[in-house]
Amino acid sequence: MSFDFSNFGCNVFNDSVMRDKLPKATYKELRKSIDNGVPLKAEIADVVAEAMKDWALKKGATHFTHWFQPMTNITAGKHDSFISPIDDGKVIMEFSGKELIKGEPDASSFPNGGLRATFEARGYTVWDCTSPAFIKDGTLYIPTAFCSYTGEALDTKTPLLRSMEAVSTQALRILRTFGNKTATRVTATVGAEQEYFLIDRDLYEKRLDLKICGRTLIGAKPPKGQEMDDHYFGRIRIRVAEYMRQLDEELWKLGITSKTKHNEVAPAQHELAPIFDSVNIACDHNQLTMELMRVVAKKNNLACLLHEKPFAGVNGSGKHNNWSLSTDDGQNLLEPGKNPYQNIQFLTFLSAIITAVDKHADLLRMSAAVVGNDHRLGANEAPPAIISIFLGEQLTSILESIAHGDKPNQNPTSVLQMGVETLPKLQKDDSDRNRTSPFAFTGNKFEFRMVGSSASIARANVVLNTIVADSLMEFAERLEKTKDFDKEVISIIRETLEKHGRVIFNGNNYTDEWVKEAEKRGLPNLKDTVESAAAYLRPENIEVLGKHNVLSEIECRARYDIMLENYIKVINIEANTLIEMLKRQIIPASIKYVGEIANSYNDLIKAGIENQEIKALTAELSELISKISIMANELEELETKQPTQHDIQAEYCRDVLFAKMNEIRTYVDKIETITNKQNWPMPSYTDLLHRV
């Protein structure tokens, strides 16, 4: 069965459908809104709504929903049917422009960080016409932004759209100074590679921790993990291949350009990468991809785990956020150019990125912080928690030679050939593929590798777009004023390297030496979510987010609070889950087993045999059971003693509750290894990792 590609995007109200279904004038007006952000007139919205409804009904839809992305990393929406009663007890199908443009969900229970008390709980969803509507499970999905009655953003999309605007505006200013008169818009583009685990559903159902927390809270190290390096890019097993096939088809029908699939490093770990798109659409598509990954898994009696660290001891999952800027006149601004002038423009954008990342490293680090990612970042399998930039030898040496005012390198064997003095001719350097860097230049884009597999990519791109917009703005102000353009550009590059060169690191990010070196360079090392959340409160960050109208100070503070609140909730849920597993599964099962052994020992004694090993095993099990029981009670007790102020409570959750859970785990994992398999009340790591 092969996919009929004429069905690609068949469930999407995309450009060709719009062109087909809308009157020409309406189509043109709508296009203006999509491309240039011109507000849509009410009459036009009515026509679009009518066409959308007719199209959706023909496709079998009965409902519509304003689909939005609250600060939960997943999506939401309530579903309304199109029906409207008429006189004779019958109904007709209606959908107005008003209903398309604006919704008013009573959405009082979404995280808002104090922005909205329940008594004024009205929230608004506003149609985002730049991301196409689509049909899924009989409902017409309308992508929307979600904000409060007073206009504050309550979602991840609103700041993302604002940040796209900011980076477009400032990038265009730079392009103008380079003489570009044709570009009218610069779009931040993203390709998000998604990692995930796939395990057998029946086994998954037997693990309370996986079901409730998305990760195993306990589990002894299996005899075989990933040490043989035999999974990465390996043969895709039949059941997994079938899953991937179905998933691709579902994604293609929604116009999602799923392109690459392969096995990842850990057993049972895989990856899917789409072709890049504008960051807003890439973000919506990534949310849908995550959702469909879970749904298709369930249909195949599998469970898809999107947690950053489902299993200790094998690699966790991330999301590589490949980011670039492209113009509507066809340039990728991070593609080294063919002639020296294009190159110098490229180096200007590169300098803006270097400046931005160094100045706001804490913000960028924060943008990848979710509780699950704390297990991963800095754990020698994923980038460290320290932000640095990989440029590769060639690019770094070009920047350095410009900074030092050196004569161009004339060595013919060198990849560099400088045409005009000080204006280098570059060649794409794909030779070096540093896999350890959190933020790596990969030829024509940057790959931000810190983002967690379960997280929305919105936050990371909000930060990237905004901080880069800010340094572009600073450069634009200089370049617009200068009398000697070439000289000013060179000064900008030189100053970037002088002031912010410390953030460039081409070496191995996994080493202890780098941690020490980074400290010497004064680079922040924010180890976890609790530490990184504070980036929202640093005045320089509040200033930059405010200046570009991405997040106001109130919104920053709200987001800080939501992050901590989420952290606290997750740790508490994990602690509760662990307590339940200990008291109702592990301890009873272990007591039963130790009883069986004790009986065997006594039976042997009766038969005149005294076995010291059995006695020792009984004692060891019994001691472990006591330890675990005592610690389960302690954890319960500690939970009741939590401070109430969020920042202190979050630290308590990390330093006391989470630390205690880890301590308990060592004893549980020990007892698992000496308990017989029949008595162990849940599937082992081997069952979970090697059984699909």
CA distances from 559 to 213, 453, 686 (A): 22, 20, 39
Nearer to Mg ion, 449 or 459 (CB): 449
Count of residues that interact with ligand ADP, criterion CB under 6 A: 15
Mutual orientation of helices 238-253 and 279-299 as an angle, nearest 10°? 130
Region of 183-191, 395-403, 476-484, 509-517 interacting with ligand ADP (CB under 6 A): 183-191
With CB under 5 A as the contact rule, the residue among 231, 320, 459, 500 that binds Mg ion is 320
479 close to 488: Cβ distance less than 8 angstroms: yes
Nearer to Mg ion, 37 or 443 (CB): 443
Nearer to ligand ADP, 158 or 326 (CB): 326
**394 counts as binding ligand ADP under rule CB under 6 A:** no
Exposure string of 563-574, with b = 16+ CB inside 10 Å and e = fewer, is: bbbbbbebbeeb
**270 counts as binding Mg ion under rule CB under 5 A:** no
> What 3-state class would DSSP assign to 371?
helix
**Least Å distance between CB 324 and ligand ADP?**
3
**Least Å distance between CB 2 and ligand ADP?**
23
**459 counts as binding Mg ion under rule CB under 5 A:** no
Region of 189-197, 404-412, 670-678, 684-692 interacting with ligand ADP (CB under 6 A): 189-197
**Least Å distance between CB 447 and Mg ion?**
6
Nearer to Mg ion, 63 or 320 (CB): 320
Region of 314-322, 356-364, 463-471, 504-512 interacting with Mg ion (CB under 5 A): 314-322
**Least Å distance between CB 331 and ligand ADP?**
10
Separation of alpha carbons 68 and 633, rounded Å: 41
Region of 146-154, 320-328, 331-339, 376-384 interacting with Mg ion (CB under 5 A): 320-328
Region of 280-288, 312-320, 326-334, 645-653 interacting with Mg ion (CB under 5 A): 312-320
Tracing tokens 């940040």 back to the chain, one arrives at 163
Count of residues that interact with Mg ion, criterion CB under 5 A: 1
Residue of 153, 154, 181, 183 whose CA lies nearest to 168: 183
674 close to 183: Cβ distance less than 8 angstroms: no
**Least Å distance between CB 69 and ligand ADP?**
20
Separation of alpha carbons 536 and 557, rounded Å: 7
Long-range contacts of 156-159 (CB under 8 A, 24+ apart): 156/69, 156/70, 156/71, 156/283, 156/456, 156/458, 156/459, 156/462, 157/68, 157/69, 157/128, 157/280, 157/283, 157/458, 159/458, 159/462, 159/550, 159/551, 159/555
Separation of alpha carbons 376 and 371, rounded Å: 10
Indicate the residue type of 514: W
Nearer to Mg ion, 320 or 548 (CB): 320
Separation of alpha carbons 592 and 585, rounded Å: 11
CA distances from 400 to 351, 406, 490, 495 (A): 12, 9, 11, 11
Separation of alpha carbons 300 and 202, rounded Å: 11
Residue of 22, 13, 61, 67 whose CA lies nearest to 287: 67
Residues 228-267 binding ligand ADP (CB under 6 A) are 260
**189 counts as binding ligand ADP under rule CB under 6 A:** yes
**274 counts as binding ligand ADP under rule CB under 6 A:** yes
Our CA angle for 575, 578, 582, nearest 5°, is 140
Contacts of residue 184, Cβ cutoff 8 Å, sequence gap at least 6: 36, 172, 328, 329
Residue of 186, 302, 201 whose CA lies nearest to 242: 302
Work out what residue 318 binds among Mg ion, ligand ADP, none; the CB cut-off runs from 5 to 8 Å by kind: none
Region of 45-53, 313-321, 365-373, 554-562 interacting with Mg ion (CB under 5 A): 313-321
Q: Is 89 left (phi over 0), alpha (psi -120 to 50) or beta?
A: left
Nearer to ligand ADP, 167 or 542 (CB): 167
Work out what residue 541 binds among ligand ADP, Mg ion, none; the CB cut-off runs from 5 to 8 Å by kind: none
Nearer to ligand ADP, 323 or 680 (CB): 323
**Least Å distance between CB 262 and ligand ADP?**
9
**Least Å distance between CB 259 and ligand ADP?**
7
| Binding track, positions 551-580, relative to ligand ADP; x by CB under 6 A | ------------------------------
Separation of alpha carbons 424 and 399, rounded Å: 10
Nearer to ligand ADP, 82 or 276 (CB): 276
**Least Å distance between CB 390 and Mg ion?**
13
Q: How many helices (H) and strands (E) does the chain have?
A: 23, 19
Work out what residue 143 binds among ligand ADP, Mg ion, none; the CB cut-off runs from 5 to 8 Å by kind: none
**Least Å distance between CB 16 and ligand ADP?**
22
Exposure string of 107-123, with b = 16+ CB inside 10 Å and e = fewer, is: beebbbbebbeeeebeb
With CB under 6 A as the contact rule, the residue among 18, 22, 161, 190 that binds ligand ADP is 190
Q: Is 325 left (phi over 0), alpha (psi -120 to 50) or beta?
A: beta
Work out what residue 649 binds among Mg ion, ligand ADP, none; the CB cut-off runs from 5 to 8 Å by kind: none
With CB under 6 A as the contact rule, the residue among 193, 200, 374, 687 that binds ligand ADP is 193
Work out what residue 275 binds among ligand ADP, Mg ion, none; the CB cut-off runs from 5 to 8 Å by kind: ligand ADP
Region of 24-32, 188-196, 612-620, 680-688 interacting with ligand ADP (CB under 6 A): 188-196
Residue 127 pairs with which residues in a beta bridge? 144
Residue 420 pairs with which residues in a beta bridge? 423
| Binding track, positions 140-179, relative to ligand ADP; x by CB under 6 A | ----------------------------------------
**191 counts as binding ligand ADP under rule CB under 6 A:** yes
CA distances from 63 to 59, 141, 290, 334, 480 (A): 11, 9, 22, 42, 52
Residues 105-144 binding ligand ADP (CB under 6 A) are none
Region of 11-19, 186-194, 421-429, 634-642 interacting with ligand ADP (CB under 6 A): 186-194
Region of 5-13, 37-45, 316-324, 364-372 interacting with ligand ADP (CB under 6 A): 316-324
**276 counts as binding ligand ADP under rule CB under 6 A:** yes
Residues that bind ligand ADP (CB under 6 A): 189-191, 193, 260, 273-276, 322-324, 332, 444-445
Residues that bind Mg ion (CB under 5 A): 320
